[in-house]
Each structure stands twice: as C-alpha cells, then as structure tokens.
Structure 1
C-alpha cells in the first residue's frame, strides 16, 4: 500500500517521548486492551494492536478512556448509521470528493501535528451533500487509524468560493452529529483551526461558533487575512502549492486519496455491516442520551 503520511523515525521518537512511552509499553497496553475486548461479548470483532495503539495515543494512554472510545467506535454505527451506509465506490461518495476536499497533508508540522485541509473545489457546489461529505471524512479517519502517526490535529478551513447559502446545508443537527463522531470516535481535539479566504459573512458565523465552543478551543481559532501568515503558522514545507507552500497541490493529493480509499474498500464494506450486539452487552447500554445527540457543543472535550 502506498503511504500518504510522512513521519520520520526521529519524529516518531519525539512523539513517543512526548507521551513518555516506549513502543514496547504501547504494545503491552494494546495487548491488554485486546484481551479486554475479547471479554466484551457485545463487540463484533477484536481490533488490530496497531489500531488500538493509535487509539491509546489519541487518549494520552488513559486506559479507561480508551476502553470507552473502543466501545464508541462500534456502538456509534448503530446510533448514526447514515454515516456508515455507503461504500467508497458509491456514486455519491465519488462525487463528493470532486466537490469538496478533506485532505490530510503528508508532512507533519515542526510541532508534530497533522494538518487537514477542508475546501470546496468550486465544481458542482449546488450538489454538495453534507452527509456524503461526513462519510468521506469518516473513511479518511479509518485510514488514518491504520496508517497515520502524529501528535495533534490542525485544521485549515478554506472558504474560497463559498456562498452563504452553502452553509445552510450544515444544519445544527448535522453539526452536532458530526461533532459527536469526531469527538467520541476519532478524538479530533484540534490544536489549531485556521480559516482562510473567509468573506465577511463568515466572520459572523465564526463569532457564533466561538460562543458555543469552550474558551480553550475558541482561542485556537485563527482567521488569516493572507497566505503569508498561514505559512508562518504552519510551515511552507508542509503546505500545498495552492497556499504558496512546497507540498503537492490539493488536486494532486485528492487524486492520491481517491486511490488510497479504494485500497480500503474491504474495510469500509466490513464497517457497513459490523455492529455491536446490545443483547450481549454486560452493564449499562450506551444510548442516544449518553451521546448527547440533542445536547450541545459545550460538552465537547479538548486537551
């Protein structure tokens, strides 16, 4: 399989050093969690040790927290099936990748963070489907659980060509569900959120967003008036040539991601079917109340 993630051995050792863990300790923790999974009768399968290791890293190696996330990883598929219903070969999913990007950049920042770019391509924007986009993002997340190595997430939201009516497709219910899957499954705790090419109406949208986010996260939101400040923040070597950087263009990276997702077709097909069996669960069942689907963003955690 081709790799779209660059992480040198030196970078990997720095990440391990940040967590104060050796690879041997991570393997032991992952094996213990595998043994725990085997005792959970409602679980449909036992995850690979490497994937469990990545879940552990996302949760700073807190065992109890990681157990909850592993449970969520399967349980949420029954609660939010619309995000798992379509395979990568579905026409809607193929189409969304030509309408909007969700692209992790290959190189880590100097702080060892993975940058993810979200941007509309300018094609067929009236056909944008927010649920299809979330399925695409979930699929990318599944690949990253198997291949990526990083410390924290950094997001770039590029508003070039975005009209106000497009934002109406991101309904409050959709946003809550997307935030839920981001936090409760993929632990997307952003270290930074960077907005570029933002028209004036977006600023009022961002001001609203800041009121529903925790202050710590709100302080990590940055609006850039030019590309120079973005390059200073994240590094010219990391950014694509679209932003005056040295990395491949977003269009080239998108083509590579189309190929990458096809490599994982069997995984996505399995994910459509694999569900927990609540009848076999020992102890309290996770339900929509627990997940707070009708709750609010104040509950979202960041570190």
Structure 2
C-alpha cells in the first residue's frame, strides 16, 4: 500500500517547504554515507538512502543532528527488545488497541494518527503494554516510510476506564517516551484528547509526569467533535468521527495490508534488535553504544 504514504511529488513539495533542494539532499546523503563507512559499529541498513532521507527530514537537514539520530536509532532498537521483537506477527484488525492514520495529509502537511480502543474486543482486563507495543509497531513503519514533517495525534478515551489507566506500568510509558525521543523523533504538532471527561484529571496527571513540558503544552482537550474540527479537517477524519474518510474498521484493514507487505522489514528490525543486543564488543550495557562520537 505504498500509495497510502507520501508520494514522490509530495516529497518534493515538503522539501521545498523546508527550504532544501534535491541537489542539497543528495550532497548531504553522500556525506552521511561516507561518515557511516567510517563507523564500523553501524549496520549496513544505516546506509540505505531512503532511510537517510527520513533521518535528514527528522533532523531538519542538519548533518550533526542526523548523525546523532542515526546512532541513537540503532542503539535504542536493542535497548528495549520487548517493544521490537515479534512485530511481524501483528494484525492490526485483531488488536484491542486501535491505531489508524489518515491516508491524506492535512493542508498543513500533518499526518493524523488516531489511538483508541475497540470496544467490541475489550475484555475486563486490558493489556496496556500490548496497546503500547502495537503503537510502537505502527510508529516503526510510519517513521521509516512516511515522509511527513509532523504528526497530530488524536487520543480517544471513550472506551477507557480508570481501572485501565491504573493497570498501565509507569515504566512502560517512560520507555515509550524514550523510544519516541531517540528512535522515532517525529515532530508532534498537537495531541487532541476527546471523550475523556470522566478520566480527564487522571489522563492529564499521567501526561504531566511522562511528557516533557514542551509536548505537554501541545495538548488540547476537546469537549466535542465540533471543537476537534477546528484542529483537524473533516477530510482527514474517519466517518466514526463525523469525517469524510472510510470507517476506522476499513482503515484497520488497510493497515492489515501494510503490515503484511512490511513483514520483511519488521523481521529485519527484530534481527537488528537481537543481533545488536548480542554484540558485546560493539555495545555496552543494555545494548548502548560504548562510544558515541559525532564529528
């Protein structure tokens, strides 16, 4: 489902908005590949040009930042193996946790990501770790294939209860934050909370503990969908939210196809995670690099 992600034409527009030319990107990629060739600890996957283009976008085309991000990316894949092993076996439509994205970008070039629960599959005891695991899996694909400047996240708490929140392990939330900051590092332009009046205090208290102040300041609590439409156009929302897209269930089927097509990529992520974790001559405790040199 490559058409689900950003087209080559859209990439050119995004690059122009970042004030960087195709020629400049090519020059930076060649410089990065030369640097990677001098870093024996980095795997061959780090030389992939499409991967480096993504890293350049995430690093705002500043080579020093990009080098650090490349190092961090491969370090943190093995730091938390519980979030990166077995991703190839996921089928989104079977998950209790729901993660779907809008097929088209917003007029401000954002990708909309919706996180919620499937009430039809919801059991008395919710596995919050599994929900986070699935979100990381989707994020892994988006980070490596979706050439977008930023994402806007919608958190729908309609089917959540206080007991669900209390079942979450605070250490898991901190691990996910660390993965976001060091593996994905995608700009989140906003976090839109909906259907959470009964949980609002608990949700915001948890967010204040886990999120850094800059990201916490980007949270908006919506009293209704009309308020949400002020931030997210209807053409970027599923029918379930009064939008013009196909339903959440239909979007999950699209993601079933994406996960199937990206199975080889997800297998490679798992192999990198396991291989890096075993290479004590290269990696230090918990899979971290013994040295982190960015010239």
Alignment match, 1:221:
219
Correspondences of 1:131-150 after superposition (within 5 Å): 131-150=129-148
Equivalent residues, number:
283
Alignment match, 2:19:
20
Alignment match, 1:119:
116
TM-score by length of 2: 0.86
CA drift at 1:102? 1.4
| Correspondence 1:168 to 2:166 | yes
Change (3 A) 1:185 1:97: farther
Q: C-alpha separation between the residues in 2 aligned to 1:155 and 1:172?
A: 20
| 3-state SS of 2:95 partner | helix
CA drift at 1:278? 4.6
CA drift at 1:195? 0.4
Greater Cα offset, 169-178 or 269-278: 269-278
Q: C-alpha separation between the residues in 2 aligned to 1:59 and 1:209?
A: 25
Q: C-alpha separation between the residues in 1 aligned to 2:199 and 2:137?
A: 31
Counterpart selection for 2:181 from 173, 178, 183: 183
Alignment match, 1:49:
49
Correspondences of 1:213-292 after superposition (within 5 Å): 213-274=211-272, 275-276=275-276, 277-280=279-282
Change (3 A) 1:7 1:237: farther
Q: C-alpha separation between the residues in 1 aligned to 2:210 and 2:86?
A: 31
Greater Cα offset, 221-230 or 97-106: 97-106
Change (3 A) 1:208 1:176: closer
| 3-state SS of 1:124 partner | coil
CA drift at 1:156? 0.2
CA drift at 1:163? 1.0
Change (3 A) 1:201 1:128: closer
Alignment match, 1:295:
none
Which whole-Å deviations, capped at 9, do the CAs of 1:262-302 have from their partners, x for residues lacking one? Answer: 11111111211214345147xxx686899xxxxxxxxxxxx
Alignment match, 1:195:
193
CA RMSD of aligned residues (A): 2.5
Greater Cα offset, 75-84 or 132-141: 132-141
TM-score by length of 1: 0.84
Which whole-Å deviations, capped at 9, do the CAs of 1:213-256 have from their partners, x for residues lacking one? Answer: 44432321111111111112111111111111111111101111
Structure 1: where are the runs of 5+ without partners? 291-303
| Correspondence 1:104 to 2:115 | no
Change (3 A) 1:115 1:178: same
Structure 2: where are the runs of 5+ without partners? 290-295
Q: C-alpha separation between the residues in 2 aligned to 1:40 and 1:289?
A: 15
Alignment match, 1:130:
128
Query: Contact conserved, 2:115 with 2:154, CA < 8 A, in 1?
Result: yes
Q: C-alpha separation between the residues in 1 aligned to 2:66 and 2:285?
A: 15
Change (3 A) 1:165 1:288: farther
Q: C-alpha separation between the residues in 2 aligned to 1:38 and 1:286?
A: 25
| 3-state SS of 2:158 partner | coil
